[in-house]
């Protein structure tokens, strides 16, 4: 049975935007932890362990930058870092706002507004769920 024309086409690229933002946040989070680890293990007499963490931090950063270029390359320069910060902030908010739904909602709403503006789409609810439901 041919459903062409009777059903909407599901745009997986658009629907996955929330997951892409979370991935960006996790990559930036990994970089931050590597930098912190480098500082915490640094020794004047042997900095090899510290250097390894810094190498990993650079790799996290390079992967994150390339991922953002590949998936959000058309961003205005003024929105590039905002999107990265929003992704990192969301990831961190999920870790620290345990049980405080009001606090988490306030942060989520701000992230959705800023990231949605940068991407030119409504992120006020789970876009993946909305697109899947309407497909």
Q: Using one digit for the tens of pLDDT, what is the confidence trace for 49-93? A: 999 999 999 999 999 999 999 998 888 989 999 999 998 898 889
**7: which DSSP letter?**
S
What was the pLDDT predicted at 10? 45
pLDDT band of 95, cuts 50, 70, 90 = confident
For residues 21, 31, 60, 12, the Cα torsion angle rounded to the nearest 10 degrees is -10
The radius of gyration computed from the CA coordinates of the chain, to the nearest angstrom, equals: 19
What was the pLDDT predicted at 91? 85
**pLDDT tops 50 at residue 132:** yes
**pLDDT tops 90 at residue 30:** yes
Indicate the length of the chain as a whole number: 135
Compute φ and ψ for 120, nearest 5 degrees.
Answer: 70, 35
Q: d(Cα 80, Cα 109) in Å, to the nearest integer?
A: 19
**pLDDT tops 80 at residue 1:** no
Q: What is the pTM of this model?
A: 0.75
What was the pLDDT predicted at 33? 95
What was the pLDDT predicted at 121? 86
**pLDDT tops 80 at residue 15:** no
Burial class (CB in 10 A: 0-12, 13-18, 19+), 12: exposed
């Amino acid at each position: 049975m041919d459903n062409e024309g009777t059903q909407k086409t599901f745009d997986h690229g658009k629907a996955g935007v929330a997951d892409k933002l979370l991935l960006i946040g996790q990559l930036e989070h990994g970089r931050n932890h590597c930098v912190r680890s480098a500082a915490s293990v640094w020794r004047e007499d042997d900095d090899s362990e510290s250097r390894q963490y810094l190498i990993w931090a650079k790799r996290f950063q390079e992967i994150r930058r390339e991922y953002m270029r590949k998936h959000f390359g058309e961003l205005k320069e003024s929105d590039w870092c905002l999107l990265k910060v929003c992704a990192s902030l969301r990831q961190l908010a999920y870790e620290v706002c345990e049980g405080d739904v009001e606090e988490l909602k306030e942060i989520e709403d701000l992230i959705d507004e800023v990231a949605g503006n940068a991407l030119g789409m409504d992120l006020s609810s789970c876009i993946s769920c909305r697109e899947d439901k309407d497909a």
